[in-house]
Amino acid sequence: MNECMNIYELIQKELDGELTPEEMELLDKHCSHCFTCQEIRQDFYQTIYGLRNLPELEPGEQLIETIMNTIYSKSPAQKSIPSKSFTGIVAGLVLFCSSGIFLLGSVLISLIAGGLLYLGYENSSLGFIENIVYWLTYGYNLLSVFKNVFNNPYSSLFLVTVLLLSMVSFAILIMLLYSRRIINYENV
Amino acid sequence: MVFTDEQLAIKSQQGDKQAFEELIRRYQKPVFTICCRYLGNSQDALDAAQETFIRLYNKLALFDGNNTFRPWLYKITVNIAKDLIKKRKPWEELDFSIKSDLGDPQANIELTQVQEEISKALLKLPEKYRMAVILRHIKELEYQEIANVLNLPLNTVKTHVRRGRDMLRIQLKEVEL
Ligand SMILES: [Zn+2]
């Protein structure tokens, strides 16, 4: 066992071409009768061989162009920056508005759905269609309750703040994901 | 007439645009490859490669003809790639899409299964081992060169390479190629 640990060191040294002839002889001799070390040695060979033969990767012609343009003709590169930030602002606004609509919509839907589900229990004696009609009226009534909330200046202020905050964080989240390429619109 | 890297660097220093372009042409593939293998994502690797050559240009004045060019360039590459990985968010650290979207899609290289497993396994290594293994066994630099590039003591580099390739061996063993 202890010998095998020394042999492991020798295998590692062999991979770096640092073995003396005596050590090489020792290694060969051990591996001829120890299957475990022989296998480890073989696996190491394969790993190194695989690494060495990984293909060199091609970045594409546009890399040189971009670099040369950035370095030697500063003006076109600078022109593209405002346009980029402009699209950023527009995208941000669109996201802000759409997330607002989305959040408002989901609040309303959950409110109505909540009411409907609750009433489904209460009126189980009703027939199926009657039930649906009943639920819908109840949902409508619930909406008018919701309207009353807005008559109170404090609660409406609170609601608007919560809505705005979630809109902003939603927009920021999407922008963040996009900028870190978690979402890649160009590939879609 | 073929110039050495060092001659090209000196020429670029003096404002020779073509000399600099030739340097990029010579080194874009190795630089991009190091970044890809380390970052595991070709888009990030492109960004890193681009920044490497721009920083190279800005630092050219510091290059003196007695240095060797290649390790100097790799040092810049490694620093930029490391900065990029530090700035990443935890959820994007591992991206195994490397097999399909690496490099130029037109020159889509067919990876064998072994190579695919190796590039995946490489990305699972701790970052310091990963870079050491890339420089040693993919770019085939000498230990002393790697120590200079990574700014680490020779023995530390050796330890990183040895641990890294041992982990690779074990991982590849597990997938049963
Ligand atoms: Zn043994």
The whole-number average pLDDT for the span B140-167 is 96
For residue A30, the CA-to-ligand 1 centroid distance in Å is 6
3-state secondary structure of B65: coil
**Which pLDDT band holds residue B166 (cuts at 50, 70, 90)?**
very high
- Could you tell me how far CA A43 lies from the centroid of its own chain? 35
Residues making up chain A, counted from first to last: 188
Nearest Cα neighbor of B165 from B142, B139, B136 is B136
Contact assignment for B37 to A59 by CB distance below 8 Å: no
Q: How far apart are CA A14 and CA A21, in angstroms?
A: 11
For residue A52, the CA-to-ligand 1 centroid distance in Å is 26
Residues making up chain B, counted from first to last: 177
- Enumerate chain A positions whose Cβ falls within 8 A of a Cβ in B: 12, 15-16, 40, 43-44, 46-48, 50-60, 63-64, 66-68, 70-72, 180-182, 184
Contact assignment for A50 to B114 by CB distance below 8 Å: yes
Q: At what angle do helices B5-13 and B17-39 cross, to 10 degrees?
A: 120
Token pair in block for residue A86: 């402009």
- Radius of gyration (C-alpha) of chain A in whole angstroms: 34
Which one is predicted more confidently, B34 or A163?
B34
Q: How far apart are CA B72 and CA B55, in angstroms?
A: 12
A66 contacts B28 by C-beta, under 8 angstroms: no
A113, pLDDT greater than 60: yes
Nearest Cα neighbor of B146 from B57, B59, B76, B74 is B74
CA angle, residues B126, B132, B133, in degrees to nearest 5: 85
Nearest to A48 among B24, B114, B165 (CB): B165
Nearest Cα neighbor of A113 from A138, A150, A148 is A138
pLDDT at A117: 63
A172, pLDDT greater than 90: no
Token pair in block for residue A101: 């609509």
Which CATH topology does B1-95 take? Rna Polymerase Sigma Factor; Chain: A (1.10.1740)
The whole-number average pLDDT for the span B23-44 is 95
Q: How far apart are CA A95 and CA A175, in angstroms?
A: 9
Instruction: Report ipTM for this prediction.
Output: 0.86
Nearest Cα neighbor of A42 from B164, B173, B123 is B173
Residue B105 CB partners (closer than 8 Å, separation 6+): none
For chain A, the farthest-separated pair of C-alpha atoms sits apart, in whole angstroms, at: 95
Contact assignment for B137 to A52 by CB distance below 8 Å: yes
Which region among A30-34, A166-170, B144-148, B170-174 has the lowest average model confidence (pLDDT)?
A: A166-170
The share of chain B scoring above pLDDT 90, in percent, equals 71
Q: Where are the domains of chain B?
A: 1-95, 105-177
A42, pLDDT greater than 50: yes
Token pair in block for residue B83: 């900065």
Q: How far apart are CA A104 and CA B56, in angstroms?
A: 51
Nearest to B54 among A43, A52, A71 (CB): A71
Q: How far apart are CA B163 and CA B169, in angstroms?
A: 10
Q: How far apart are CA A48 and CA B150, in angstroms?
A: 21
Three-state helix/strand/coil letters over A40-70: HHHHHHHHHHHHHCCCCCCCCCHHHHHHHHH
Span B105-177 CATH architecture: Orthogonal Bundle (1.10)
A96 contacts A168 by C-beta, under 8 angstroms: yes
pLDDT at A187: 37
B97, pLDDT greater than 90: no
Nearest Cα neighbor of B47 from B81, B97, B94, B88 is B81
pLDDT at A178: 67
Contact assignment for B28 to A12 by CB distance below 8 Å: no
- Could you tell me how far CA A91 lies from the centroid of its own chain? 19
pLDDT at A99: 80
Q: Which of residues 27-86 of B touch A (CB under 8 A)?
A: 28-30, 32-33, 36-37, 41-46, 49-50, 53-54, 57
**Which pLDDT band holds residue A103 (cuts at 50, 70, 90)?**
confident
Q: At what angle do helices A153-179 and A74-122 cross, to 10 degrees?
A: 130
Neighboring chain A residues of B104 at a CB cutoff of 8 Å = 58-60
pTM comes to 0.66
Which one is predicted more confidently, B65 or B78?
B78
B177 contacts B113 by C-beta, under 8 angstroms: yes
- Cα dist from A26 to A39, A43, B75, whole Å: 16, 19, 39
